[in-house]
Structure 1
Amino acid sequence: MWVEDWTPAAACRQAQPDQLFVRGAEQNKAKQLCAGCPVRTECLAEALDNQIEWGVWGGMTERERRALLRRRPAASWRAVLEAAREQGSPVTAKSGALHV
């Protein structure tokens, strides 16, 4: 089930915003915060569909999201990610590719 108003359920809602807008190795810590988030997919779709350039969103860094956007520039990421969820496919980033 897709959560329309996902922000209140986000694992990062209690975190300091600066924790999610970091560079280098610190991004791995930010991604760990996303790992168990119940609305990770919705968050990632929001960032991809709105081409948000900064921060870790849905467990992906800016670089990972840019790679996805280059591969599928006209995609509705909500539709892609929602379909993957319904099929029970894991959504992960690996070397800039979306694996669903």
Structure 2
Amino acid sequence: MLQPPHQSLQAAVVPAQRPPAREQAGPWHSEAVCRRDEAGLFFAPSKEPTAARLAREQAAKRVCARCPVLVQCREHALLQPEPYGVWGGLTAAERRVVLARRRRREATTADPVRRIA
């Protein structure tokens, strides 16, 4: 059975955090470049200093940038939503911004009165 990217995550995740939803990952995961990288690159250890976190996230994003399934991974993380780690080249904070924009856009297009304003 294929497992999604970041498969060795269990050891890298703080116990209070949930690991990524393996069952929901699509067939795209077998092509993910991150399957060949260290899961710790994509998920923060507990109490990671800010400078180290930023450097690690940038390194993870460089891996994502060369991934053929970046878009599928990103959509998976947005639809779950995955609360931790770098998925599809976006951090958890960046994914929250994307989701908030999508919700605002959907609310605007669903409410014709707001569209006029």
TM-score, structure 1 as length reference: 0.66
Q: Distance in 1 between matches of 2:79 and 2:104?
A: 9
Alpha-carbon distance in 1 for matches of 2:31, 2:92: 22
Q: Match of 2:14?
A: none
Unaligned 5+ runs, structure 2: 1-25, 45-52, 106-117
Which residue in 2 is equivalent to 1:53? 83
Deviations 1:32-59 (A, max 9, x none): 0000100000000000000101000001
Task: State the distance in 1 between where 2:81 and 2:73 align.
Answer: 12
Deviation at 1:73, TM superposition (A): 3.1
Aligned to 2:54, the other structure's residue is in SS state coil
Partner in structure 1 of residue 36 of structure 2: 14
Aligned partner of 1:67 in structure 2 is: 97
Q: Quick one: percent identity of the two aligned structures?
A: 40
Aligned length: 72
Question: Counting helix residues as a fraction of each chain, which structure ranks higher?
Answer: 2
Question: In 1, distance between residues paired with 2:74 and 2:32?
Answer: 11
Alignment TM-score, normalising by the size of structure 2: 0.57
Task: Name the structure where strand makes up a greater proportion of residues.
Answer: 1
